Every structure is written in C-alpha cells, then in structure tokens.
Structure 1
C-alpha cells in the first residue's frame, strides 16, 4: 500500500482520492468493456488474490501463477489510480521472491519487457481474459510466458561476449564518433579495448601513435572522463567503464535500436 501512496504523488498531474487505500467508488477502465468489482467487494477480492499469490505451488507453475495474478489484480482494479504501475510492481515483486529477477544470470527476467513493449497487444490480451473463461485465461498466460521466453532469449544473447562486442559496444562507440563525443583516435582506442576486454597501454599504440608520453596523455584524458578505468595491481591495464559514463546513454540508445528495451520506457508512465 505504501508503494501506491508514494506513486500517487505523481509528477504527471495524476492522483488518487484515497492514496494508500483501496478505492471507495466505482471505476471504469478506458477502452475496456470490463467493469471492475464494486468497492464493497474489493477488499475480499484482494484478500483472495493475495492468498493465491502466497500459496505454495510447484516451481514449474510459479510463472503461470504470477501471470494469472497480474491479470486478476488489474481485473479487480483496487485503486482509484495507478493500477497499471502497482500491478507491474506487484508482478515484479512476486518474480523476485521466486528468484526470477536476480541481478545476474538468465533468471533476471523483468515483466515490463512483456507488459511494456507492445501496449496495444497487452490491453488486447487483458481484455480477452476479462471473461475469466478458462480458454481466455490460457491465452493470456501463453502471451505472458511467450513474452518472458523472448526476453530470456535477449538475456542469453547479452551473455555472449561476441554479441555484446560486435552488436552493442562497437556500434555504441561508432554512434559516439558520429555525434562528435569521441575523436577518431579515441573511438579507435575504445574499440580496441572493447575487443580485448582488458587492454594494456601498449595495445593502444595503433590508436594513439607517437611517443609513450603522448599515448599516456591520451589515455589519461579517457580516464579523467570516466570512459575507461584501470584494473589490476599495476594499473596499466584498462577496460571500458559502461556506467556511469559517456558510454551509458550511447549503450542505452543502441539497446533501444535493437529492440532490447520495452517501449514503455519512452512513455511518461
């Protein structure tokens, strides 16, 4: 409830008459034929939903349970405003509890990758399941699980060094060169480091020709800007610093161009 209360103080001019509490009036959902339960039924419906979420099931069915819980939360529409945001937070929390959103590994799934990528499809699938008919709920669950599988495929690609280097890092560096963030020499040096993962100063001679002192000055400028960072005891070996740095926005734009980011991130939601 506290999450909803905080989010109700939105910078987008939205609000809730009863922040942090269930709604006390009937609501409608724009573009939907579904009419959420009356205020008098919200508390009991939410209690049943939370009991369902907390129910122990075989791990093979956890994602299925989470998919059904997301739909039922939106179907109940327990708050006057912010139900979509709270629903995504609830789903994310449920996934984290089951270990499906760990910070590392291929279990780092994010439901926003499904619910936020194609909003039209999301609402269409939600509306189809509003009848609560078994076949419709199966279609909804299939939609969610297929989306998570697709997201898992993207995570798998991001675990492959060749893909990260050739598909993400090098295009981001080229983008920085085109936008004049990097000189041609700097872009060349960054590309060398990207391919080697860890590069010594001598490896950058091709990018920064001339004396050792001149090369050291060029490397120092990249260090001072936070684009690369030293590693190891001697501190003469370097790697790219992906965040926070000038590379960060370039990488985000490249990920967006590759359709690795949900479209909702572009919206004011």
Structure 2
C-alpha cells in the first residue's frame, strides 16, 4: 500500500524534476514504433465487430467494474472479487470503505465519458483534475485514520508529503500550483498525433511525480490516462473498451518498478516507461478485438459462462437453453422460448419471459418495450459465472495471484 506521510520538514531535492516534460524520440527500429502504429490503426478503424452491441456494452460494464477494483487494489484496497460481486448483485456498492472507493472510481469514469461525449476535444484543465479528485475521494475517510480519502477534496495540497516505501520525494507543496500550471499546458498543447500516445505515458508519470493532492494521486493519474485516451480518439461510443488500468494493475510490481525507473527523467528511462505503457495498452486493445468477434466471444466467454451458471445452480437447464440460443444468435424473441418450452401457451411463454426479465438474465432490446431480447451477463444470476470465465480465459485486468479473491 502506498502510504503518505504529511510532515513539516525541509525536503531534499527531488529525485527527478517533475516538470522535465519531454517526450522521447525512439529510433525507427525501436519496438515502440510498431506499438504506436498498431494503436493508431485501432483508432482509425471502425470496430463494429460481429458481437451484438448490447452484449458488448454489457461486457464493457463488467470490465469497468473490474478496472475500478484493479485501480483501487494498486493502492492497497483488499476488496475481493467475491465481495465486489455480492455488492453489485445486492445493490450495496457503498456498504464498506473499500466498496465506496471502487464505486467512486466507476462514477469518475462515467463522468469522464459524459464530459467528452459533450465536447470531444475538451481542454483538460485544473478544474477537470480537481473534479476527478473530488469524485475519487468522495465519502472516504482521510489517511490519518486509515482511509483512502482526503480532507480537502478537489484541492491541491499546500503542505509537503512523503511516500513511505520509496526514495522519491514529491516537490514541496508551495511549488504545486506552478508545477500544475506547466503540466496543464503540456498536456493541452498541440502535438503530432504520432507523439500523442507517448505524451499520455509521460503525463501519467509526471503527474504522479508532482503528487498534486494529499491523497488519491495514483487513482487520479490513472483516470487522467483514461481521459487523455478518450480525448485522443479512443472513444467508448465507437464501440470499444478502453482499459488502461489493466496496463498498470496487470502487475503492480512491474508498474511500480516502471514508475521508479522513469524517476530520473532521462531519454532512456522515459522511452522505457513509454514502451511499458504503450505495449500494455496494445495488448489490452488486442484483447478487446476478440470480444468484438462473436465467433470468439461466444465459445470462449458466453457459452462457458452459461454452463458454469447451470453447474453452480444459478440458472436452470431450460434457462441455459434459452440463453445459449439467444447468445448464439445475438438476440431472440418469443419463438426462441417456444423452441425450448414446446407446448406452452402464448400466455405461459409471456409469463416465462417476464420472469426471466425479472431475474435479470435477459433484457428487452433496443427499448424496454421491445419484444426482442438479449442475454444480460452483468445481471445477478450470471455475473459470478461471467467473472469466473473471464478469469479462466485471462480477461481479468489483473493477475490471478493479485486478485485477492
């Protein structure tokens, strides 16, 4: 866990000048060049895929839930997957401090998406970062009493801080306003598209180095990375999952080592850090490509999820047959039910459909009054099975031995 100590001492010179805001220049044969080209190709493509859009959105919702858990766990949150699922199923996402922290991160991600949906190239300014911080630490206890909140939500720190467990020393609090002015200018200045991804990586490290808030900096910085990616065109509304948090929580040790290595601010260390971030981002986006392909998503995720839900007693065999057919075809209607429940009257079929909607294993599509239905994998009956399958297939945004389940 990263623990901040608030102290009144004379600080030694920082390990790195946090505002050494330079973007490295890789050689043409450096592997990062291939990553940049691949990521730019992803951005320019129309990735509609063959997966039903409602199913993709459903899986994305679960991804966001796991992203938030992963980001919180980097900071020491010990909420388990089982606890998170139970809270989601029971609708009690704020029943503990750990769950409130995760819920805050989900709210912050939703806020970011709404902001850029209204203004796609919005300037990321002080008020934007301060609102991210306010959302991140909302209703959390301050660190002085063992919490992950901040007594001054949405305000830059004025005092000095030390990060226990690392040799890095953040700049004095009095320097934060000027440093953040320069940082804000850096992340908003016009830049060649080929360098914008490396700027996102550098911005992640430099904002963490400035440590502008008393607490919650790591969570805010990871949300900032998410925001900068969306602003650069990796848009949720274009049908893809942006999962930068997985780059950092895939291995907490590698993430921390990478941050430490970049502390000296040299061209070589900056390039290593950018390569770490962009190769990880490329890996995650390639993973998304498989979710967009119904021929991969169905046999690897959806059908195994349905089978596991039957085995664990969450759904009946008949429910599984209906879900399997709906998942295979993308959606279904009353005729799908009649094929599973032969001989049932129209009224009985209507009652069964209503029950399945109430249980949460299907949802009307595209509106609540529609008579076509899609499988709902994020609902109470299937969520545990879905996460189990995602884990087995390597789709969790953190390693199995780091999940705390």
TM-score bucket (shorter structure): 0.7 to 0.9
Question: Aligned residue for 2:395?
Answer: 260
Q: Which runs of 5+ in 1 are unaligned?
A: none
Question: Aligned residue for 1:121?
Answer: 254
**Once the 2 structures are TM-superposed, how far is the Cα of residue 136 of structure 1 from its aligned partner?**
0.4
**Preserved contact between residue 158 and residue 176 of structure 2 (Cα < 8 Å):** no
Question: Aligned residue for 2:133?
Answer: 4
| Distance (whole Å) between structure 2 residues aligned to residue 211 and residue 21 of structure 1 | 62
Aligned-partner SS, 1:21: coil
Question: Aligned residue for 2:244?
Answer: 111
| Distance (whole Å) between structure 2 residues aligned to residue 57 and residue 235 of structure 1 | 46
Question: Aligned residue for 2:232?
Answer: 98
Give the direction of change, closer, same or farther, for the CA distance of 1:220–1:142 in structure 2 (3 Å limit).
same
Decide which structure has the larger Cα Rg and report it: 1
Matched, 1:155 2:288: yes
Matched, 1:246 2:381: yes
Superposition pairs for residues 1-269 of structure 1, below 5 Å? 1-8=130-137, 9-10=139-140, 13-106=147-240, 108-204=241-337, 207-212=340-345, 218-230=352-364, 237-244=372-379, 246-263=381-398
| Distance (whole Å) between structure 2 residues aligned to residue 53 and residue 185 of structure 1 | 54
Aligned-partner SS, 1:239: strand
Give the direction of change, closer, same or farther, for the CA distance of 1:204–1:42 in structure 2 (3 Å limit).
same
Q: Deviations over 1:10-58 (max 9, x none)?
A: 1572343544322233222232221111223222222111111011111
**Preserved contact between residue 209 and residue 215 of structure 1 (Cα < 8 Å):** no
| Distance (whole Å) between structure 1 residues aligned to residue 259 and residue 278 of structure 2 | 14
Q: Kindly indicate whether structure 1 or structure 2 has the higher relative contact order, using CA contacts under 8 Å at least 6 residues apart.
A: 2
Give the direction of change, closer, same or farther, for the CA distance of 1:203–1:96 in structure 2 (3 Å limit).
closer
Aligned length: 266
**Preserved contact between residue 140 and residue 150 of structure 2 (Cα < 8 Å):** no
Q: Which runs of 5+ in 2 are unaligned?
A: 1-129
| Distance (whole Å) between structure 2 residues aligned to residue 102 and residue 137 of structure 1 | 28
Choose 13-22 or 52-61, whichever is displaced more: 13-22
Cα RMSD for the two superposed structures: 2.9
| Distance (whole Å) between structure 1 residues aligned to residue 349 and residue 199 of structure 2 | 58
